[in-house]
DNA sequence: ACCACATTTAACGTTAACGTCAAGGTAAAC
DNA sequence: GTTTACCTTGACGTTAACGTTAAATGTGGT
């Protein structure tokens, strides 16, 4: 698992991860991680030997990506959000950037709410069928 | 639009629809409808000339299918549910069948609840980022 | 130095859910 | 009984999100 541990800042916390470590931790394949890079969702640094070295920040990105994936969002849909998210190294971003970020997150939140509502509608529909079945069963004995 | 109107029972209510009519009403293409038939989700009757004639029941199926689709369910996931749903011509189904139907609907309901929860988790995540952005913006003026 | 295992790039394969012609039959309107 | 509009069955094309080799390099441990 090549447990990457590069020199430099050595303050107790782990600094860099290999692709295999992340794949393991997040329960996905290395192919999936490389694919996300291919599509421009992440861009990890490289070691001298050209191997990918992921930071804790990259790992955070991946986690957010997976949450979106599980919620049914496409890679294209994630790109906008992450692109902006990346554009703010820390908190020193410019106001314009920060506003744009906030707006995007807000929009995404609305999207999520919409999908929740869609699911609620289906839930109600299923509820009706369930009630029907229960009634029929009750009237059958 | 060949407004199919076959002889037989003529009690005010429309009896049969053409594929084009349904596609129009449901805002999908005829290809999509035929595809669902190909995958075994529906099986409409045919006219003398071999054209598909959909009943109100078929239309109901399609609507349920679309709700599932919009909620992110796959065709395979819909097949089980619709298969059973089809197995009950009216209400005269056998108890065994009805119980199986209820159980399936219940399971699907749980699935839906799970997906809603996944979306809620993402919602919370986005909420945090939104708060962060708002705070930063406030501390910027 | 050497081994065993992890990683890399490149490329072809796969599944789902339709889109998109092509070449005829069918139905309804005139 | 022709148009004209709609429907039919193929069948090949397309996009997304990875899976799956293959052949070559890199890395950690002894």
What's the pLDDT at B94? 85
Q: Which one of A88, A120, A136 makes the best mutation probe of the B interface by having the most chain B beta carbons within 10 Å?
A: A136
8 A C-beta contact, residue B13 and residue B56: yes
Mean predicted confidence (pLDDT) in B95-103: 90
Name the DSSP class of A40.
T
What's the pLDDT at A138? 93
8 A C-beta contact, residue A19 and residue A29: no
Q: Is the pLDDT of residue A90 over 70?
A: no
The percent of residues in chain A predicted with pLDDT above 70, rounded, is 84
Tokens of B48: 């003398």
Lowest-confidence pick of B5-19, B59-73, B112-126: B5-19
Mean predicted confidence (pLDDT) in A79-85: 83
What's the pLDDT at B15? 82
Q: If you count DSSP H runs as helices and E runs as strands, how many of each does chain B have, helices first?
A: 5, 2
Mean pLDDT of chain B: 88
Q: Which one of A63, A66, A130 makes the best mutation probe of the B interface by having the most chain B beta carbons within 10 Å?
A: A130
Q: Is the pLDDT of residue A92 over 70?
A: no
Chain A hits for B126, CB-CB cut-off 8 Å, are 105, 108-109, 112
pLDDT band at B87 (very low <50, low <70, confident <90, very high): low
What's the pLDDT at A119? 98
What's the pLDDT at B8? 37
Question: Residue B133 CB: number of other CB atoms within 10 A?
Answer: 22
pLDDT band at A91 (very low <50, low <70, confident <90, very high): low
Chain B hits for A126, CB-CB cut-off 8 Å, are 105, 108-109, 112
Render pLDDT for A17-69 as a digit per residue (tens, 0 to 9): 999 999 999 999 999 999 999 999 999 999 999 999 999 999 999 999 999 99
Tokens of A80: 């906008």
Indicate the helix (H) or strand (E) that contains A52: strand A52-53
Q: If you count DSSP H runs as helices and E runs as strands, how many of each does chain A have, helices first?
A: 5, 2
Beta bridge partners of B45: B53
For residue A99, CA distances in Å to A3, A5, A88 come to 38, 36, 11
8 A C-beta contact, residue B65 and residue B82: yes
Lowest-confidence pick of A11-15, A60-64, A99-103: A11-15
Mean predicted confidence (pLDDT) in B46-68: 96
Cα separation of B89 and B85, whole Å?
Answer: 8
C-alpha distance across the termini of chain B, in Å: 62
CA neighbor of A112 nearest in space, from B126, B16, B62, B36: B126
Distance in angstroms, CA of B41 to C1' of C23?
28
Q: Is the pLDDT of residue A6 over 80?
A: no
Which residues does A67 contact at the CB level (< 8 Å), separation at least 6? B121, B122, B125
Chain B hits for A115, CB-CB cut-off 8 Å, are 72, 119
Cα separation of A39 and A61, whole Å?
Answer: 14
Render pLDDT for B4-39 as a digit per residue (tens, 0 to 9): 544 333 445 678 999 999 999 999 999 999 999 999
Cα separation of B76 and A89, whole Å?
Answer: 44
What's the pLDDT at B6? 41
Contact (CB<8Å) A130/B105: yes
Cα separation of B74 and A139, whole Å?
Answer: 34
Indicate the helix (H) or strand (E) that contains B79: helix B75-86
The backbone torsions φ and ψ at residue B5, rounded to the nearest 5 degrees and listed phi first, read -145, 85
A-B contacts at Cβ under 8 angstroms: 93
Q: Is the pLDDT of residue B1 over 60?
A: no
pLDDT band at B85 (very low <50, low <70, confident <90, very high): confident
């Amino acid at each position: 698992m090549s447990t990457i541990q590069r020199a430099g800042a050595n303050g107790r916390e782990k600094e860099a991860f290999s692709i295999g470590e992340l794949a393991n931790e997040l329960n996905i394949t290395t192919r999936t991680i490389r694919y996300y890079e291919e599509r421009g969702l992440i861009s990890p640094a490289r070691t001298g030997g050209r191997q990918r070295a992921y930071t804790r920040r990259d790992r955070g990105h991946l986690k957010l990506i997976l949450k979106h994936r599980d919620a049914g969002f496409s890679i294209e849909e994630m790109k906008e959000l992450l692109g902006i998210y990346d554009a703010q190294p820390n908190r020193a971003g410019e106001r314009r950037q920060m506003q744009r970020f906030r707006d995007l997150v807000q929009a995404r939140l609305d999207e999520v709410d919409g999908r929740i509502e869609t699911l609620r509608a289906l839930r109600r529909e299923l509820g009706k069928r369930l009630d029907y079945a229960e009634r029929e069963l009750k009237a059958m004995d």
